[in-house]
Structure 1
Amino acid sequence: MADRAKDNTDEPADFETAIAECGFGLFNVFILCSAVPCLTAMVFSASALSYVMPSAECDLDLSIVDKGMLHAVTYAGMIISAVPWGFIADTIGRRPVLISGGWLDGFFVLCASLSQNTAQLMAFKFFDGLIICGPFAVVVSYLAEFHGKKHRPYIMLFVGLCVSIGSMILPLLSYLLLPVPILFTVSSMKFRTWQVFLAVSSAPSLLSGFLHIFLPESPKFLMSQGNYKKALDSLQRIYKLNKRKSRESYPIKHLTDPTPDRSDDLDGTGRPSTLQERFSRAQSKFIDGFKQLKPMFSSPYLAISLQVYCLHFCQIMCVNSVRLWLPQIFATMNAMDTLGANDTSMCAVLEHNANAKSMDEEEKRVECALHHDPDSYLNNITVAGIGLVGFLIIFPLMRFQVVSNHILKVFLFICIFLVGSLYFVKTSLVTMMVSAVYLTMMGICATTIIGMSVVIFPTLMRTMVLLLIMTFGRLGSVSGNMLLPVFMQLSCLAPFLWLCSLMSIAFLFSLFLKVDDEQSLN
């Protein structure tokens, strides 16, 4: 019997068997904790300007078109960098992207906080989007590739939970910091509260880059590259931390995967490589990277990826057209209430924002002072809180097949009516309630789609496809934030008809998607 057990340990094991032997323990807790600042950084990059805008519009004299452009420019950076980041992550590795991306993003967010005019703020927020795009998509693949079938379905629950917590932290930080009157000068540069707020928002990116230094490369990625020696070393490290045993006691001694073993070539063992050999290796990686993209354009991946891209494009265009403008809408409603306006309906608020440029200096000064009122952030905190609670209630139910199979289409169908009903609201309370339910449902839908995509596509395509899905979503965000001010200036009804139409298209695409989230990683 002992000899038979020994023979079994000498047999090559696939990834699912090898990662299952590592169990779940201290290592998994650390990797999940390291992912939190990365996921929070993405929320901060995408949404920080929404909270800054009511204050910054007075200092930078922003028009409604300027606001739309500032919302869009971060997503434009994400779109441009998606394919290069995907290529780097799927050829060089997950870990280098998480480390370098975190530090670079933190640097550009700090630069944005030093901005003295609209052009500088746009430029640095563009670079912020350019960089943060990589680490956010990579961390989803990275987490999935450190967990087996038993725990992998909970990874998207964790990702969605972190995004919800980040969305909660941001309005709380706004509530505590933005009403504080800060103004100081360094040389010829003036710094105000909103710039300090942006500087503080760089902390998650910098922390993410630091924490990932202490983590290994994804063993599944290393196996798919043919580097079984390093993959085994990574798995032994996980086993040692989780089981509190020596690395040598790890029962798996050999790994198997469709990729041939190239450990010696990839590790560079033996004599030092010449410059020509290093160049040839880099050239080979570059060619291999393009070969990895080929399956994306063939059956069965092409048809399903196109469905997912179109669905995500429509739904993110809708959700960000509401989410990114909500802090501005609540700040305007609060100001109008305080000034004693008779009509605080959504139409009145949109008209007020569209005509803000024509206000005289005294009116602008009074309204800008009201935008610093802490009460103007309470509705945003409530919306984020409802989103977090809704997420905690709904996602545990995703373990039931009847829920996971139908939640996407049911929620998208309900959201068609929710976004349309915003046209009829008359008070800030009803606006808050409707938008909170809408954004919560849409957030769950977005997380569900990304969770499906993690298991649909194989390892060497996974990060690239996730980035492309997010890219289509960001294209929707850019389009939405550039078109929304135009629709606002046409009529009050126009933006709501447009959003309802997009939601209907997203719902139609959702009818054709079905995925088993417990299947093995390819």
Structure 2
Amino acid sequence: MSEMDLPTLAKSGDEKIESKCLTPMEEINAALKECGFGIFHIRLLITSMISFVAGVLVSNSTSYLLPSAECDLHMNLVHKGLLNAMPYFGMLCSSVIAGFLTDTFGRKVFIYFGTGGIFVFTIIAASSQSYTVLVTAKFFEGLLFATSFSAGLTLTTEFCHKDIRDRVVICQSSFASLSQIIIAAMSWSILINDWHYSFLDGKFVLNTWNFYLYAMSSWSLAAFVMYIFIPESPKYLVTQNKFDEARALLIKIYKENTRNSEDKFPYKDLWKDKVKATSMSEGVDNKKITIAHQLVIGIRNIKPMFQKPLILYLVLICTINFFVMLLYNVLRLWFPQVSTIIEHSNFASADQVRQDLCAVLDGYTNHLSLRHEGKNSTAECTPIKSGDETYINSIIIGCICVIPYFVSGMLINKIGKKPLMIVSTLIAFGSTTGLRFTDSKTSVVVLFSVSIAITQMLMSLNQAYIFEFFPTTSRTLAVSMVLLSGRIGTLIGNISFPVLLNMGCVFPFYTLSGTMLFVAMLSLLMPLKKK
């Protein structure tokens, strides 16, 4: 269902709103335009931000606890890579199925299930006493996160008319940067401590990283509670022929945003004729719709997504997202570990021969290999904990990541998504390549910041393409499939990164930068606008 520019609608006297030529989705777009952007949307975005923090924590909390829990859980580089990747393996198992069911049964139920489930399994992860329990809990966190994330993205955009949708998508995506700042600050305040409590004669031990995960579980609980006060999507309600509920919801949004009475809303009588016609034609059968019938309707609704031209757009967007999320999540999740290694090395020290980043990382991997291969070694494992520098740098990266969203928010309507994507991928290529040659702490932070910020913005531009090209009846499934491709990339990237790092530092960085050149070429194939 397209959402074209609407003709001017009469709003005064006894003139009726001319909507006979408009689809229900276009009528919703016009009604939302009258509602404007106000208190309701601010509440929605705040709730979305809390949910984003909870979602980013599913993967990001792992990267911060790696140095602290390294000895407690007896982890080597491969163990760390697997732990970083495990949430994404869980996401693979549920994202597409959840996307299809969300388009069929609604957004809210999956948001509840996902955010509530994340809280439960974060508590289990916080209580874990072994690597196996922690990695299993992280798998289920990822599975439940995928259940709620695409539904939350879709829900937010479906409360926005098309003139502001791209900017709202970019604003919502910027919450990932704010989440990094919040998580880094909380990690800094908790993980620098040295807490150790033993219970049941040492059978149950809580270390600093355990308390860290307990504290982080509060975000998913808060998201679960806050979404109770957010209604279901009006577009989904219309696809289910719930016209009365959709109209009442639009009136409620109008009153909350504008502080005007219902009588001033030009669409207060929207769809009343459709409700009457639907009730007369369906009679009591409408009350007896089974789950099987809803599934059949859902399958019928997604058929156009697998036909030209939508299937071509989907393959292209999925391929781009695979490589963009691979680079983004490898750099984001491994930065705290890399920064900690640099903190405890002689990197860029005035008293030492100047080393580049690869020399420092190669030295660390060689030391780690010798420690784990040493059969007769009696040396006690001492965790190399992150210091203030790592957390400050993580906060700096989070702050820098917000900047591209302001820039793209101003430029996206002027120059379009395609030129922004091409320029952004070339910048990401340059900054990632530069990591191989950097020889100062400042340049490491700058180049990591640029690469992470740009790839994060590329993901939001990709999401904006989905909301532009795919109709409501298959939009969440399309989001889920695009996220699925990105999560496969993340999974492959985080497992292969430590393997490539053991082979030599140059291999992972050249591989990562090469993917951005490929994405730049793919971006040339993206359409300029919806036809």
Q: TM-score, normalised by structure 1?
A: 0.90
Residues 330 and 490 in structure 2, CA contact (< 8 A), matched pair in contact too: yes
Cross-structure match for 1:38: 51
Question: How far off its partner does 1:286 sit?
Answer: 1.1
CA distance in 1, matches of 2:181, 2:51: 15
Residue 408, structure 1, aligned to residue 417, structure 2: no
Residues 72 and 481 in structure 1, CA contact (< 8 A), matched pair in contact too: yes
Residues 98 and 208 in structure 1, CA contact (< 8 A), matched pair in contact too: no
* CA deviations over 1:352-396 (Å, ceiling 9, x no partner): 44331433564742xx2x41432332222222222223433x233
Cross-structure match for 1:292: 301
CA separation of 1:262/1:100 partners in 2, compared to 1, >3 Å: closer, same or farther?
farther
Question: How far off its partner does 1:153 sit?
Answer: 2.3
Cross-structure match for 1:94: 107
For 1:76, which of 89, 105, 128 is the aligned residue?
Answer: 89
* CA deviations over 1:202-257 (Å, ceiling 9, x no partner): 22211111111112111111112222121112112212222334446543244469
For 2:359, which of 332, 348, 352 is the aligned residue?
Answer: 348
Question: How far off its partner does 1:503 sit?
Answer: 1.6
Cross-structure match for 1:385: 399
- Specify the code of the residue in structure 1 equivalent to 2:66: M
Residue 309, structure 1, aligned to residue 318, structure 2: yes
CA distance in 2, matches of 1:481, 1:186: 35
* CA deviations over 1:2-29 (Å, ceiling 9, x no partner): 9984351596671112222222222222
For 2:370, which of 354, 358, 362 is the aligned residue?
Answer: 358
Cross-structure match for 1:463: 476
More displaced stretch, 508-517 vs 465-474: 508-517
CA distance in 2, matches of 1:463, 1:217: 14
Residues 416 and 528 in structure 2, CA contact (< 8 A), matched pair in contact too: no
CA distance in 2, matches of 1:226, 1:509: 39
CA separation of 1:79/1:353 partners in 2, compared to 1, >3 Å: closer, same or farther?
farther
Question: How far off its partner does 1:417 sit?
Answer: 2.3
3-state secondary structure, aligned to 1:184: strand
Residue 373, structure 1, aligned to residue 384, structure 2: no
Cross-structure match for 1:106: 119
Residue 203, structure 1, aligned to residue 218, structure 2: yes
More displaced stretch, 349-358 vs 63-72: 349-358
Q: Tell me the number of residue pairs that the alignment of Structure 1 and Structure 2 aligns.
A: 506
3-state secondary structure, aligned to 2:70: helix
3-state secondary structure, aligned to 1:190: strand
- Specify the code of the residue in structure 2 equivalent to 1:423: R
For 2:336, which of 317, 327, 330 is the aligned residue?
Answer: 327
The 5 Å alignment of 1:71-470 reads: 71-187=84-200, 188-247=203-262, 250-255=265-270, 277=288, 281-337=290-346, 345-355=356-366, 356-359=368-371, 362=379, 364-365=381-382, 368=383, 370-392=384-406, 394-402=407-415, 404-470=417-483
* CA deviations over 1:468-504 (Å, ceiling 9, x no partner): 1111001000001111122112222221222122222
Q: Name stretches of at least 5 consecutive residues in structure 2 with no aligned partner.
A: 1-9, 372-376
CA distance in 2, matches of 1:357, 1:479: 22
CA separation of 1:357/1:221 partners in 2, compared to 1, >3 Å: closer, same or farther?
same
Cross-structure match for 2:14: 6
- Specify the code of the residue in structure 2 equivalent to 1:8: K
Residues 113 and 147 in structure 2, CA contact (< 8 A), matched pair in contact too: no
Residues 418 and 524 in structure 2, CA contact (< 8 A), matched pair in contact too: no
CA distance in 2, matches of 1:3, 1:251: 6
Stretches of 4+ aligned residues off by more than 6 angstroms: 259-263, 268-273, 338-341
CA distance in 2, matches of 1:75, 1:97: 18
CA separation of 1:161/1:296 partners in 2, compared to 1, >3 Å: closer, same or farther?
same
Question: How far off its partner does 1:87 sit?
Answer: 1.7
Question: How far off its partner does 1:271 sit?
Answer: 11
CA separation of 1:193/1:4 partners in 2, compared to 1, >3 Å: closer, same or farther?
closer
CA distance in 2, matches of 1:237, 1:380: 41
CA distance in 2, matches of 1:168, 1:112: 22
Residues 37 and 257 in structure 2, CA contact (< 8 A), matched pair in contact too: yes
CA RMSD of aligned residues (A): 2.9
3-state secondary structure, aligned to 2:411: helix
Residue 498, structure 1, aligned to residue 511, structure 2: yes
- Specify the code of the residue in structure 1 equivalent to 2:178: I
3-state secondary structure, aligned to 2:34: helix
CA distance in 1, matches of 2:312, 2:103: 22
Cross-structure match for 1:29: 42
